[in-house]
Amino acid sequence: MWSLYIKIQIIMNNLNIKKYTPTVIVVLVFIVLFAIFANKPANSNNTQPIDKEKTTLSNRDLAIKEALNNTDKLQQRAQVNGVTYILTDYDDTFYGGGPKENKPGWKFGGIIVFKLGNGKPIMFWESEEAINRGSVRFFDINNDGIPEIIWDGYFGATGRDSAFYVYKFNNTGFKLITPTETIKTSSITYKQTILGGDSGFTQIEDIDNDKIQEIIVGYRDGGIIVGDRSGVIHRQIYKFNGQTYELWKEEKIKG
């Protein structure tokens, strides 16, 4: 700044306008300072949130963002043919003014799998069935050395306390191998698992000891008062047939 003052003094002397020097110096300094700040990048000191951050993100958007930003924190990983797949899910619940909903027209959550390429997750596959609050994990349910995606959880108001989906890897994505029914409403049509029942009866177990897990669902008929053992438990057991799970046995158990 001092050198600038000297230069301005020299110019003033040459122009012989010494009597106006103080005013001219002030004006020139303002011009120089204005030029400096005018050339500064607009966002260099911009603390305002960018517009897109103001938009409420859906639960699906948040799940994708979380997966992309925190890849190292995700525990749901599986290796298939030397490739790493990362599993995440989201539900449709929201509280207060928080995030909500998912894909346009959807009323439920979903499962998303990323493929790890050059250390970065790339969208690989996404479920299309009705998914709600629950848990999702990789697990080799049919003991063939390749992990399936297992989801079990709640449908609540739709009538099933616990429910089940199994998705099998097929190179281009994951294919549903448990039975569903099609639900039509006035606005959307979607598929929902038929594997469901009362909470506490849904489980996987290798009943016939062939190292392939069966899926068991059930509900209690009558005897709903705690301690009343007069009811009947209905159990449905689904077995893997090499391609899909299908109904294998139905049982009624006193109790």
Q: Which residues bind Ca ion (CB under 5 A)?
A: 140, 142, 144, 146, 148, 206, 208, 210, 212
Q: Indicate the residue among 210 and 221 with the shorter CB distance to Ca ion.
A: 210
Q: Indicate the residue among 160 and 168 with the shorter CB distance to Ca ion.
A: 168
Q: Indicate the residue among 131 and 149 with the shorter CB distance to Ca ion.
A: 149
Q: Which residues, listed in sequence order, are joined to residue 80 by a DSSP beta bridge?
A: 83
- Minimum CB separation of residue 214 from Ca ion in Å reads 5
Q: Indicate the residue among 208 and 251 with the shorter CB distance to Ca ion.
A: 208
Instruction: Report the distance separating Cα 56 and Cα 98, nearest Å.
Output: 8
CA Rg value for the chain: 32
- Minimum CB separation of residue 94 from Ca ion in Å reads 34
- Minimum CB separation of residue 246 from Ca ion in Å reads 13
Amino acid identity for residue 252 in this structure: K
DSSP states along 145-158: SSPEEEEEE--GGG
- Minimum CB separation of residue 168 from Ca ion in Å reads 7
Task: Name every residue whose Cβ is closer than 8 Å to that of residue 116 and which is 6 or more positions away in sequence.
Answer: 71, 83, 84, 85, 86, 122
Instruction: Report the distance separating Cα 182 and Cα 190, nearest Å.
Output: 6
